C-alpha cells in the first residue's frame, strides 16, 4: 500500500466507526482462504462486515472515535467485524468460533463500552433486534385481541341464549 491508499483506508475505517454501533476484534491465526470466505459469507448473511486490517492503520482510524478503547486489543493478526445490529455481529462471530478453533474472539466495543470475549459471548446469547421487535409487536397486539374477544363474548352468549329459547319454542 502506498501513502494515498493508506490514507483512504484510514478514512474508510473512520467512516465505518462513525456509523456503526458494534465492533468485534478477532484473531485469525491460520484461517484458510475457504474458512475466511465462509466467515465473510456468514457475516454478510447476518448483516455484518468483516475486514482484516493492519493494526497501525486501524489504530489511526480509531483515534478520537467512541471505539478507541479497543486499540490495546490490536496485537498480532487481528480482524474487525462490525454491524449496526450489535447482537447480529456477536452471534455470527461466536457461531463461527464454535466451528473453527483457529478463529478467536478477543473482545470488542458496544459504543463507548469496551467488552472482553465473555462480554461478546453474552451479547450473542441475546435475541436479535428483529426478534425483539417481533416480540414487542406481539405484546402490543395481544391486548387488542383480548379486548375484541371480551367485547364479542356477551353478544355471543346472548345469541346462544336466544337460540336455545328458539329451539325450546319450536319443540313445544
Per-position pLDDT tens, the chain of length 172: 788 888 898 888 888 888 888 899 999 888 888 999 999 999 999 889 998 888 899 888 888 888 888 888 998 888 999 988 888 899 999 999 998 888 899 999 888 888 898 888 988 888 777 777 888 777 777 776 666 666 676 767 767 777 787 887 777 6
Q: What is the 3-state secondary structure (H, E, C) of 55-98?
A: HHHHHHHHCCCCCHHHHHHCCCCEEEEEECCHHHHHHHHHHHHH
**Where do the domains of the chain lie?**
3-126, 128-172
**pTM of the complete model:** 0.70
Q: How many residues can be counted in the chain?
A: 172
> In the CATH scheme, what is the code of domain 3-126?
3.30.70.1730
Amino acid at each position: 500500500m502506498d501513502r494515498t491508499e493508506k490514507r483512504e483506508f484510514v478514512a474508510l475505517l473512520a467512516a465505518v466507526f462513525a456509523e456503526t454501533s458494534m465492533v468485534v476484534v478477532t484473531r485469525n491465526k491460520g484461517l484458510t482462504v475457504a474458512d475466511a470466505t465462509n466467515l465473510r459469507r456468514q457475516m454478510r448473511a447476518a448483516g455484518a462486515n468483516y475486514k482484516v486490517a493492519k493494526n497501525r492503520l486501524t489504530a489511526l482510524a480509531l483515534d478520537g472515535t467512541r471505539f478507541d478503547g479497543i486499540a490495546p486489543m490490536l496485537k498480532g493478526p487481528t480482524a474487525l467485524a462490525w454491524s449496526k445490529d450489535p447482537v447480529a455481529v456477536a452471534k455470527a462471530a461466536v457461531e463461527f468460533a464454535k466451528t473453527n478453533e483457529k478463529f478467536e474472539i478477543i473482545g470488542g466495543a458496544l459504543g463507548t463500552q469496551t467488552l472482553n470475549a465473555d462480554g461478546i459471548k453474552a451479547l450473542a446469547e441475546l435475541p436479535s433486534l428483529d426478534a425483539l421487535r417481533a416480540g414487542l409487536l406481539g405484546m402490543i397486539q395481544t391486548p387488542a385481541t383480548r379486548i375484541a374477544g371480551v367485547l364479542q363474548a356477551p353478544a355471543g352468549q346472548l345469541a346462544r341464549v336466544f337460540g336455545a329459547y328458539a329451539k325450546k319454542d319450536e319443540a313445544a
